[in-house]
């Protein structure tokens, strides 16, 4: 009989995480391009509406999942929190360079780690505290307050990462009682509902071209998270997590070539520090998990959410 360890395929997992990174960067670029012709809140709503098409294969899991009042409350709260994250993210994409969005998004797993210790009773060991401190230094290097202007787009990305962290903590609670596939599917539904009033407030008739771009954005998002799922099935998160650093490289190159954004070595340095902190936590807790010491807090992506954005 083949053990789960024997079934792990590190190279395959790294390949699928590489493909996921390309999908997410492509999605980011299209969102940035769209930001010049459509309100970011309306774009976020339509992106999720199109994303519902990809939920059809999961309808069986949705309909078969019994829901209590507590479940519905958690779904609703998570939908609102995630909707806020999505709106902030779409806004940030139109205000700051792609590389800065990508680098600051790496903070989400750090928020998850801190939140799990503060609200879910998980132990905040020294290694976690040290990794969080390193990640905060990475953010300070990116923002460099006092040496450059911290614009609303930067604040929006800080809010995005924080809101996504809360969303994943809520998911961590919900998957104790509900199948992950149903949690993922319900997220898209509830986020779409939560975005409705905000989209109505800024609504303008979209052009056929914008609708086509939004459908491609939804396709990239779905493909990216599907590839991430394949990566996590093929290899441990500790193996695939470092590959996400390539997203920062692709985002920097794309921002420079397509959007004529300046390459900022401080952003790359700060993003590298943040991802190093995330990768250390992932690797160290994977080691502890294998030894049975404790259950690690899954980093961003371990829930295989359908759409961070």
Tens-place pLDDT, residues 217-268: 999 988 888 888 788 778 777 677 778 888 888 899 999 998 899 989 999 9
Asked if the structure places residue 66 within a domain, the reply is yes
Query: Does the predicted TM-score (pTM) go above 0.85?
Result: no
pLDDT at site 159: 95
Phi, psi of 103 (to 5 degrees): -65, -45
Domain membership flag for residue 303: no
Residue 206 lies in a domain: yes
Closest-CA residue to 96 (of 12, 21, 31): 31
Count of other CB atoms within 10 angstroms of residue 162: 19
Determine, yes or no, domain membership for 262.
yes
The whole-angstrom separation of Cα 71 and Cα 114 is 24
Q: How many domains does the chain divide into?
A: 1
- pLDDT grade, residue 301 (50/70/90)? very low
Collapsing DSSP states into helix, strand and coil, what is residue 293? coil
d(CA 13, CA 29): 25
What integer pLDDT is reported at residue 6 of this predicted model? 43
> Looking at residue 292, what DSSP letter applies?
T
Question: What pLDDT, in 10s, does the model give residues 81-108?
Answer: 999 999 999 999 988 999 999 999 989 8
195 in a structural domain? yes
Asked if residue 203 belongs to a domain, the reply is yes
Sign of the Cα torsion 58, 61, 67, 70 reads negative
The string of pLDDT tens digits covering residues 12-35 is 888 998 998 899 899 988 988 887
How far is residue 100's CA from residue 122's CA, in Å, rounded to a whole number? 30
pLDDT recorded at residue 267: 93
Beta partners for 148? 145
E strand or H helix at 155, and its extent? helix 152-174
145 forms beta bridges with 148
Q: Is the pLDDT of residue 143 over 80?
A: yes
Residue 75 has a pLDDT of: 92
Give tens-digit pLDDT for 178-223.
Answer: 877 788 888 889 999 999 999 999 999 999 999 999 999 999 988 8
177 occurs within a structural domain: yes
Question: Tell me, what's the pLDDT at 292?
Answer: 53
SS3 142: helix
- Specify the pLDDT at position 289: 65
Phi, psi of 95 (to 5 degrees): -120, -25
Domain annotation covers residue 297 = no
**Domain containing 149: what range?**
4-290
**Is 9's pLDDT higher than 50?**
yes
Question: Which phi and psi (to 5°) does residue 145 adopt?
Answer: -60, 135
Residue with tokens 């609102």: 80
Per-residue pLDDT at 302: 40
């Amino acid at each position: 009989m083949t053990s789960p360890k024997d079934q792990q395929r590190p190279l395959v997992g790294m390949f699928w995480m590489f493909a996921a990174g390309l999908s997410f960067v492509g999605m980011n670029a299209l969102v940035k391009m769209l930001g010049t012709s459509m309100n970011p809140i309306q774009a976020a709503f339509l992106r999720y509406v199109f994303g519902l098409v990809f939920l059809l294969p999961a309808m069986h899991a949705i309909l078969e999942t019994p829901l209590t009042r507590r479940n519905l409350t958690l779904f609703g709260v998570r939908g609102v929190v995630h909707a806020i994250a999505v709106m902030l993210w779409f806004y940030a994409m139109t205000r700051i360079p792609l590389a800065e969005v990508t680098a600051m998004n790496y903070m989400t797993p750090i928020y998850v780690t801190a939140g799990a210790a503060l609200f879910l009773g998980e132990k905040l060991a020294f290694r976690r505290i040290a990794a969080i401190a390193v990640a905060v230094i990475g953010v300070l290097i990116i923002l460099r307050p006092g040496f450059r202007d911290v614009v609303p787009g930067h604040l929006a990305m800080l809010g995005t990462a924080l809101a996504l962290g809360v969303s994943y903590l809520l998911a961590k609670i919900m998957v104790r009682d509900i199948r992950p596939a149903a949690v993922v599917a319900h997220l898209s539904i509830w986020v779409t509902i939560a975005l409705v009033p905000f989209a109505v407030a800024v609504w303008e008739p979209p052009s056929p071209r914008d609708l086509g771009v939004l459908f491609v954005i939804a396709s990239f998002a779905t493909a990216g998270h599907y590839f991430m799922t394949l990566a996590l099935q093929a290899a441990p998160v500790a193996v695939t997590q470092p590959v996400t650093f390539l997203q920062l490289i692709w985002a920097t190159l794309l921002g420079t070539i397509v959007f004529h954004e300046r390459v900022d070595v401080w952003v790359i340095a700060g993003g590298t520090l943040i991802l190093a902190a995330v990768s250390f936590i992932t690797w160290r807790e994977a080691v502890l998990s294998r030894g049975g010491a404790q259950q690690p807090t899954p980093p961003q992506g371990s829930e295989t959410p359908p759409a961070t954005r």
